[in-house]
Amino acid sequence: MRIFQVDAFSKDVFKGNPAAVIPLEQWPEDSVLQQVAAENNLSETAFFSENSDGSYKLRWFTPETEVDLCGHATLASAHILFERLGYDKPEISFHSKSGVLTVIKRDGLYVMDFPSNPPKPIPVPKLLPEAIGIIPIYTGVNTDMLVFVQKEADVREIKPDMILLKRMEVRGIIVTAPADNPDVDFVSRFFAPAVGVPEDPVTGSAHTVLTPFWAKRLGKSRLKARQLSERGGELFCFQKEDRVEIGGNAVTYMEGEITI
C-alpha cells in the first residue's frame, strides 16, 4: 500500500497536524487498519478508496480506535488526491460515518464542508477544574466537551491531568478563549486521551463545535482560529446554518510504501 504523511493546517512542514493518508484498492480487515494506524503512531491515519460514482469512502483511525469524524486527516486526504493522485474535478465527496463530506479548493485553501455541532450547555463536571487547573466560564458538550476560559494565556499555559481527563465521558476536551491577536478571533487546544491522543496539534472536527459557539458569541459568521499546540496551526471557519466550512493549507512531508 502507498502511504503519505501530510502536515495539515500549515503551509510548512514540521507545523500543523501530521496525518497518514493511505489510498486503498481493496479494504483489509478492520484489525489490519487498526494495526497500521498504531504502527504509524500519529493522531490519525486516513484510509480511502474510490467508489463507482467517483466519490470516495473515507475512514479514520487513531492509534487505539476508529473515530466518526476527523478534520485534519480529511484535509490531508484531499490534498493527496488533488496534488499527488491527479484528481481534476473541482470538488471531492467523501462518504464517512459522519455522512457526506465535501472538499474544494478556494482562495488558496482546502475548504471542507462539515456538519455544525453546536455545544449544549452543561454544569461544570466535578473533576474538570482539578483536571485542567482552571474553573471555566462555560462548559458545553457534543461529541467533545467545550471548555470556555477567560483568556488566551489560560489556554496556552494549561497543563491538564490526562488521567482525570480520560475519565470524562466524552471523546475529547476543547479548551478555548478569545485571541489576544486582533487578527485572530479565538484560540483553542484539544486533548483526547480517551482515544489515545493526549494532545492533538490541530483539530478540524473540534472546530465544528467551536465555530457555532464563537459565531454566536461574536455575532459573525467568518472566523479565524489558531490552535495553540506546540506545532500550532491556522483554521479559517465559516458558519452556514447547520453546516460549517473549515479551510486550511497542507503540505506533503513523506511518501512511501507499506509492506505487510
* pLDDT at residue 15, as a whole number: 95
- Domain 2-115+246-257, CATH homologous superfamily name and number: Diaminopimelate Epimerase; Chain A, domain 1 (3.10.310.10)
* pLDDT at residue 48, as a whole number: 98
Which tens digit of pLDDT belongs to each residue from 163-205? Answer: 999 999 899 999 999 999 999 999 999 999 998 899 999 999 9
Angstrom distance (rounded) from CA 48 to CA 55: 10
* pLDDT at residue 3, as a whole number: 98
What percent of the chain has pLDDT above 70? 100
11 confidence band (pLDDT: 50, 70, 90):
very high
* pLDDT at residue 38, as a whole number: 97
19 confidence band (pLDDT: 50, 70, 90):
very high
* pLDDT at residue 57, as a whole number: 98
Instruction: Point out which residues pair with 191 in neighbouring strands.
Output: 173
Q: Are 141 and 120 in contact (CB under 8 A)?
A: yes
* pLDDT at residue 47, as a whole number: 98
Angstrom distance (rounded) from CA 134 to CA 131: 8
The amino acid occupying position 106 is R
Give the residue carrying C-alpha cell 454544569.
Answer: 123
Which tens digit of pLDDT belongs to each residue from 101-159? Answer: 999 999 999 999 999 999 999 999 999 999 999 999 999 999 899 999 999 999 999 99
Print the SS3 string covering 146-201.
EEECCCHHHHHHCCCCHHHHHCCCCCCEEEEEECCCCCCCEEEEEEEHHHCEEEEC
What topology is assigned to 120-241 in CATH?
A: Diaminopimelate Epimerase; Chain A, domain 1 (3.10.310)
Angstrom distance (rounded) from CA 182 to CA 91: 33
* pLDDT at residue 7, as a whole number: 97
Segments of the chain assigned to CATH 3.10.310.10 = 2-115+246-257, 120-241
Print the SS3 string covering the chain.
CEEEEEEECCCCCCCCEEEEEEECCCCCCHHHHHHHHHHHCCCCEEEEEECCCCCEEEEEECCCCEECCCHHHHHHHHHHHHHCCCCCCCEEEEEECCEEEEEEEECCEEEEEEECCCCEECCCCCCHHHHHCCCCCEEEECCCEEEECCCHHHHHHCCCCHHHHHCCCCCCEEEEEECCCCCCCEEEEEEEHHHCEEEECCCCCCHHHHHHHHHHHHCCCEEEEEECCCCCEEEEEEEECCEEEEEECEEEEEEEECCC
* pLDDT at residue 252, as a whole number: 98
Tell me whether residue 44 is one of the annotated catalytic residues.
Answer: yes
**Which conformational region is residue 99 in: left (phi greater than 0), alpha (psi within -120 to 50 degrees), or beta?**
left
Task: Record the cell numbers describing residue 23, joined without a space.
Answer: 489510498
Which of these ranges, 7-11, 159-163, 168-172, has the smallest mean pLDDT?
A: 168-172
Q: Which of 25, 29, 39, 44 is catalytic?
A: 44
* pLDDT at residue 87, as a whole number: 97
Task: Record the cell numbers describing residue 4, joined without a space.
Answer: 503519505
Q: What is the mean pLDDT of residues 22-34?
A: 98
Which tens digit of pLDDT belongs to each residue from 47-99? Answer: 999 999 999 999 999 999 999 999 999 999 999 999 999 999 999 999 999 99
